[in-house]
Amino acid sequence: MKTYICAVGAGVLGLLSSSALAAPIAVLTGDPGILSPSDAFATVLDFDELQVGVLPTHHIDGGTLTGASAIEDTSLAGKYAQPAGRGDYLTVSYSAAAGAIQIVFSTPQNYSFLWGSIDAYNSITLRKDDEELATFSGIDIGNWAGLLWDGSWQAASSDRYINFYTGANFYDEVVLTTTNNGFEGANIAFGDPPVDIPEPGSLILLGSMFSGFAVVRRRRTRKQRLVKSL
């Protein structure tokens, strides 16, 4: 896998390409305090109407969320840390130190989310048809974006909205994994594939890097809630 890194103002845009991918995957960090995806047309799961507690299996609009997770609304030293500016959020793992959750979609999607308290031992994997497209660790994101990956509580230095633009690389599963307490996230977003890559004014794009991306229709913004399964 080949890695491209281009400076983008307050964040860093990383481009991944490999023989397994139809096009690069772009990763863009939001500015401090931004709590929503760059794509205004994405569907957002905000967790605000769920009860605090264990969340083993839940249905979402167009898919399911399963695994070792919980909804929290505060911080507990050594266990989980509330992302800055958020109320309810998702924490992985729960109650063991290590674990993972899977978000499986019925149709291919694009994805981005607020990654709170970034840790070296956190990782996100994008999959399609049981094949891994890419995996990003907290160290990857921290190094690209000039952020800390030490799990600082409610600090902009380790608490940012991370936008993943997969372009033609549609995925149908996202896996959030941690090998220690914990992996915190909020405002998980997804949308119709492919989504066009944003072009920050400070970024000079090399056209060949983006030749595989297309711009197509996007659906109207919808804020979705998780619905507890029976």
CATH, residue 61: 2.60.120
CA–CA separation, 50 vs 47, rounded Å?
A: 6
Query: What residues contact residue 201 under an 8 Å CB cut-off, 6+ apart?
Result: none
How many domains is the chain built from?
A: 1
Q: What is the pLDDT confidence band of residue 62, given thresholds at 50, 70 and 90?
A: confident
Q: How far apart are the first and last CA of the chain?
A: 42
Q: Does a structural domain hold residue 110? A: yes
Tokens at 28, concatenated: 């863009």
Q: Does a structural domain hold residue 222? A: no
Percentages (nearest 5) of helix, strand, coil residues in the chain: 5, 45, 50
DSSP label at residue 169: -
Q: Does a structural domain hold residue 94? A: yes
Question: Each residue of 137-172: pLDDT tens digit?
Answer: 999 888 887 888 887 766 777 888 888 888 778 899
Question: Each residue of 66-118: pLDDT tens digit?
Answer: 999 999 999 998 899 888 888 899 999 988 999 999 999 998 888 778 898 88
Q: What is the mean pLDDT of the chain?
A: 75
Interval 122-135 mean pLDDT: 92
The burial of 70, by beta-carbon neighbours within 10 Å (0-12 exposed, 13-18 middle, 19 or more buried), is given as buried
> Is pLDDT of 4 > 60?
no
Percent of the chain with pLDDT over 70: 73
DSSP secondary structure, 85-147, as one string:
T-SSEEEES-SSSSEEEEEEEEEEEEEEEEEES-BTTEEEEEEETTEEEEEEEHHHHHHHHT-
Q: What's the domain range around 113? A: 2-198
DSSP label at residue 162: E
Q: Does a structural domain hold residue 228? A: no
Task: Give pTM, 2 decimals.
Answer: 0.80
Task: Evaluate whether 17 touches 24 at the Cβ level (below 8 Å).
Answer: yes
Q: Does a structural domain hold residue 229? A: no
Task: Evaluate whether 183 touches 119 at the Cβ level (below 8 Å).
Answer: yes
